[in-house]
Amino acid sequence: MQNQFSRTQMLLGAEAMDKLKAARVAIFGIGGVGGYVVESLARAGVGHFVLVDDDVVCLTNINRQILATVNTIGHPKVEIGKERILSINPHAEVETHKTFFLPENKDEFDFSKWDYVVDAVDTVTAKLLIIEEAQKAGIPVISCMGCGNRVDPTKLLITDIYKTVNDPLAKVMRRELRKRGVRKCTVLYSTETALTPIDDSEISCREHCVCPPNSPRSCSDRRAIPSSTPFVPPVAGIMIASKIATDIIGFDHAAREKSDLEKKLKKRELFRAGRALREKLAKAD
């Protein structure tokens, strides 16, 4: 029977869709990158989500965050994320936590219950803690490095943290993870050199803060406010979602290509054999 995931099933197969339906994925931070991770995994058919974010939608989120519209300003991102998932798949299970992940509340989260963890938060402290807790539980985790102040999504890569270059956040993460004895961690990062935001007082968040009154933080709380585009964070989120989905189903692209080629060759051979037989029969007549 046709359903909203039929076109994906045509490519991946029924068994893969069952695995995605059973998967439990936790996403920490559902802003520019994390929001698109949620969107893509929901459309891929993932059946269980845990959304963790303490923020509310702000006007300045609209340029890059799929959960942000003029109608959602001031609403908690985890609530909008849940609504979005259920509007795509009403049968999905969505657990929400309107909180910021910190050492003080880490014991409230049981990482061992999940199949995959996404770190899409902004602070180094939280990123390190998410990675450590996931690895302690033996759960795959992917961490997103800097996507702000960049314009070229084709420079995004998924690799190990210790293979990253030209990313200031990744440099700090490498140093801190090495101190903690973390030998490897899958990350998404950009090889593009981060650009310097234009200093324009007319659109300065520090001088003209538009954070909703119920926002847990205001612009004055932030050491630096990065610029952003509608191109890089969304593509980063989609790439992360693709990595998660293919890992969950154990998708082997090279093996699939080989299988497809063998089928094509066999079909071609059968066609040629059939044609040869027809020609032989025609001559016999």
Separation of alpha carbons 84 and 50, rounded Å: 13
Phi and psi of 176, rounded to 5°?
Answer: -70, -35
Question: In the block, which residue shows the tokens 């302690």?
Answer: 136
Q: Is 6-251 a CATH 3.40.50.720 domain?
A: yes
**Confidence band, pLDDT 50/70/90 cuts, at residue 275:** confident
Cβ burial 266-282 (10 Å sphere, 16+ → b, else e): eeeeeeeeeeeeeeeee
Lowest mean pLDDT among 52-66, 102-116, 265-279: 265-279
In what side-by-side order are the strands of the sheet with 48-52? 93-97, 48-52, 24-28, 116-119, 141-144, 186-190, 156-160
Q: pLDDT at position 285, please?
A: 66
Q: pLDDT at position 234, please?
A: 98
- What is the reported pTM? 0.92
Q: Is the pLDDT of residue 222 over 70?
A: no
